[in-house]
Structure 1
């Protein structure tokens, strides 16, 4: 049966990082303004935390705190086509790129400030692993004619360590990851998925121990990654989430929706948003897995989707 996509709110700015809470509320980030926002089930929306910079991906730790990937700041402005887009500046309130921790009392601290390979450029997305740790990506940076690659990292999920372990880095041939963005784990925790933005590729690694990656069954790069899926046509990948049945759900920029990819690399479905938005940025799932929440940053809209279980008939909607 087709999914029902419902608009929950609009005019929210350039938003990302949705997280669904057990009480039905949804947290999300406003990258341009430096705030974490909260939408309650009654539809009311308010600022949850002022973290400055450019907050992106969010996760909730076991002790109820938030971990925030903060890219340091990103100016946002309307483009000639009318959609909101990054304007190439660091925004009005830049900070040093880092992973922040927001405690339940609202206290904000920069808890992970570097990694074993150096300083962060633009932390982007993260996922908890169920073993007290988290994997996260750094998008990297483009400065003039120079491209600085990002990477994939691991740290304790309590956010109280200063240095993260770099897992995937520059290797020949060639640079292994181009703008790593979305990151997620299979339901059994045995596979790590990472989406590249510029290439529109989805990669995977075998997780052989917490924070330890091994080559997949058919590695295709020097760092042991396996190519799972590559988008058809001119499109980019943003953040992702893995649904309870193990399907990888990737926000697909320029196409205006969510690409649903099976673990064996087949496009199971493409779910467009009701109002076209070239910057659909992220997706998350409710604790029971029955509802997905999607951020569409170009128009500042938050959507919910009635999410089908395994055996979904949405394959007929693949594009």
Structure 2
């Protein structure tokens, strides 16, 4: 962090400039670091609280408010990650990152509004697909911060070192270790399978599920596929991961037989990838995210914890079903 020895005269409030130009970037960074939009928003709010706790003279002494905000936000996220590891050990069931809908599919009572549309603040690229975020959860806090700051946000290892409190060489090793985790968990990138093809597979899965066609379901699932559900103790779901395509197909068939009459399934985008939602009386109660390799589904993530669905629309999701 560099400073000026003398405050500038007559220039606009640097705090206001920073908020206007940096808030979206900070939300993007914090969401990737924490896997939770709620925690990301809290981290960014705390960052600005610390900015405004300084005097105007102290603010003026900071040459780059954006760099200062990024450093502080990253350190806050690093602390949150360290405490989150302990909290998630007591979490009821499996913990899945908070899923995000596509632009224009947000609720909070303000569809399309700036304050109610985090899609305007979170860029839905490959670094937020749910498969990638799940891999990030396996990293140590320092690995995750070093990897995201350097590989996703293009900060130098010298800048990363200042944030995590290690040497640039150590940060380089942290990022390298994180990359190995990503490669091991994701041998084929989502982009390797065209988006339209992935959407078609999800559509076929939905149709087979609704038709209770067990053979079609098994044919769409990789033999070694896994399904993980997150209810957080607040919604009923299967408590342990389901291993094997055939086992998953039978589980989904059971769900189909118990499906309430007022429940509908819609195709949607989950963290930039084709997915499904279940709505009951127009309220989104479940989000399904998929990882697809070639022509088969390899992973399904099922989010039912209502605290992680607070931004999903109630009754206005656009369906792509044909």
Higher helix proportion (structure 1 or 2): 2
TM exceeding 0.5: no
Larger radius of gyration: 2
Normalising by the residue count of structure 2, what TM-score does the alignment of the two structures yield? 0.26
Normalising by the residue count of structure 1, what TM-score does the alignment of the two structures yield? 0.26
Higher relative contact order (CA 8 A, sep 6+): 2
